[in-house]
Amino acid sequence: MSPTEEDLRRETFAERRRLADLLAGLTPAQWAESSLCEGWRVREVVAHITMAYRISGPRVIAGILAARGNFNRYADRQARKDTARVSDAELLDSMRANIEHPWKPPRGGQAGALAHDVLHGLDITEPLGLPSAPADRIALAIGQPDKRQLAYFGVDLDGISLVAEDADIHLGSGTPITLPAKDIALIVGGRRPVPPHS
């Protein structure tokens, strides 16, 4: 049965709450650790997660236009700019104050909001060796990505399928490769390569 909008909203808010609690326990050195997002420390990832709470839509559009229409270039510039002027404590406060913020990515809906927070949560927890989101929440966040979505992150599942050992995830139709849900999320999110297979 497909998740309802309320299921997705509840899990999005739960993930934000989990991340806020986790961030509250980090040391300054951990905030400065490299994340899975290339060139970003943990603090830049948190600045990116909270960007929609702190920056108005018109300012985001202006920033994207200034980056010649490239959202990734804009997001990188904005995260670096924010962390140069906003403290880690202020970023955490922004997260805590917006647990139930209604933000959804353009064209992504509530499923996109959940995927955004879960994947960027993994960008933080994996290098720090901290617990990931629950496997069932990760499964909701992954959903059933189509070839276009996978191609965005350079993921090619031709000839294989990714099957979670701890959640209801089955992507692709070829030779099954069984992995934890979080590892599948890291693959489909372009953070890890597809495992070698014969």
Residue 123 falls within a domain, yes or no?
yes
pLDDT value at residue 189: 95
pLDDT tens per residue, range 149-170: 898 889 999 999 999 999 999 9
Query: Tens digits of per-residue pLDDT, 8-23?
Result: 999 999 999 999 999 9
Domain contains 138: no
Pick the last residue of a domain from 133, 161, 186: 133
CB 44 within 8 A of CB 83: yes
Encoding tokens for residue 55? Answer: 């920056």
Q: State mean pLDDT over 53-64.
A: 94
* Domains identified in the chain, total number: 2
Same domain? 75 vs 148: no
Residue with tokens 């989101």: 133
Position 171 in a domain: yes
Domain that holds residue 114: 5-133
Instruction: Note the pLDDT of residue 146.
Output: 86
Pair 31, 130: CB distance under 8 Å: no
The Cα-based distances of 195 to 143, 153, 188, 192 in angstroms read 20, 15, 12, 8
Q: What confidence score (pLDDT) does residue 198 get?
A: 61
Average pLDDT, the chain: 95
Model pTM? 0.94
pLDDT of residue 107: 83
Query: Regarding beta strands 160-164 and 170-172, do their DSSP bridges make them parallel or antiparallel, or are they unpaired?
Result: antiparallel
Q: Do 53 and 149 fall within a single domain?
A: no
Residues ≥6 apart with Cβ < 8 Å to 177:
160, 161, 162, 163, 195, 197
Shared-domain flag, residues 148 and 79: no
**What's the CATH code of the domain at 43?**
1.20.120
Residue (of 194, 68, 12, 49) closest to 124 by Cα position: 49
Tell me whether residue 157 is in a domain. yes
Joined together, the tokens standing for residue 115 give 């995927």
Q: Are 101 and 41 in a shared domain?
A: yes
Chosen domain end from 133, 167, 185 = 133
